[in-house]
Amino acid sequence: MTVKIALYGKGGIGKSTIASNVAAATSKNGYTATIIGCDPKGDSTTSLMGGERIPSVLSYLKKGETIEEEDVVHRGFNGVNCVEVGGPEPGIGCAGRGIIVALDKLSKKSNVVEESDLVIFDVPGDIVCGGLAMPVRKDYVDMAYIVTSGEYLPMYAANNICRGLNVLDGELGGVICNSRLQNEKQEDEIVKEFASQLNAKYIAYVPKRDKVQEYERQGKTIVEADSKHEVAQVYQKISKEIMKTNKPETPTPLTDKELRQLTNNTIKQKQN
């Protein structure tokens, strides 16, 4: 059985880092993992490919060239299958539509999705754009996972994503906190409470450590570079949670007032 998930969250929240590290951790656990980068920048897979960008599916299609599996499915760290969908020129076209065209073409040329134990779609931005909701809308994925920090705006985006999932009848596997605040315990508590009020499973807290960025600059995930590091161990935990295929939940988005109360009350409680 192939587990197919999509990562959603506010732009810049660290979805690609989490996607590539979870794919690496899953491969280390003996599973076949595939990551499909849906970001027009085409950089979802670079830390699995030694820092090198791979040609995207759409780059071939724009030139009117036919593609074969070996053109667009590249083997990264520990055999992780790496695919970049690509995107339109800046200011022209729709990234979401491009994703669907590319995925349709890929499915006709490769069985990499069906033959993998885990497929991760790294989706840019958040789901409020109808085009970028396509992996869920077209049933390419079984469930979504949301990445957020304890800051208000990423949580606001995460809450909006839950509204989008409800419209699409999409299901939520859980919430991952990618740390951005200095007070780690406080941020952990805020996002844990947020997940609880969403009726969602809290998957893990990923601490912010300079080593992660250092290894990314070297073109590596921290799972590859230092598998015993505390952050690498967190990615192992996330991988195992995802592969358990827990029953997904239908999220219950908060009102804007409830979201502000949650963040303010949690901070006040920790200050007292």
pLDDT average, residue stretch 99-126? 86
* Residue 37 in this model has a pLDDT that exceeds 80: yes
* Residue 79 in this model has a pLDDT that exceeds 90: yes
At 202, which amino acid appears? Y
Q: Which residue is associated with the tokens 């090198």? A: 52
Output DSSP code: residue 2.
-
Paired tokens of 68: 């074969």
* Residue 22 in this model has a pLDDT that exceeds 70: yes
Confirm whether 208 is a catalytic residue: no
pLDDT score for 204 = 97
pLDDT score for 43 = 85
* Residue 272 in this model has a pLDDT that exceeds 70: no
Class of domain 3-269: alpha beta
Q: Which of 39, 122, 126, 188 is catalytic?
A: 126
CA angle, 210 then 216 then 221, to 5°? 100
The overall average pLDDT reported for the chain is: 89
Band the pLDDT of 187: cuts 50, 70, 90: very high
Angle, helices 256-271/152-168, rounded to nearest 10 degrees: 140
Q: Which of 4, 15, 28, 220 is catalytic?
A: 15
pLDDT score for 131 = 61
In the chain, what are the domain boundaries? 3-269
Confirm whether 43 is a catalytic residue: no
Output DSSP code: residue 89.
P
User: Which of 140, 118, 141 has the alpha carbon at shortest distance from 239?
Assistant: 118
**Which pTM value belongs to this model?**
0.92
Query: Contact at 8 Å (CB) between 205 and 193?
Result: no
Query: Contact at 8 Å (CB) between 137 and 76?
Result: no
Higher per-residue pLDDT: 149 or 41: 149
CA angle, 7 then 12 then 131, to 5°? 55
Q: Which of 4, 10, 28, 220 is catalytic?
A: 10
Confirm whether 126 is a catalytic residue: yes
Confirm whether 256 is a catalytic residue: no
pLDDT score for 268 = 62
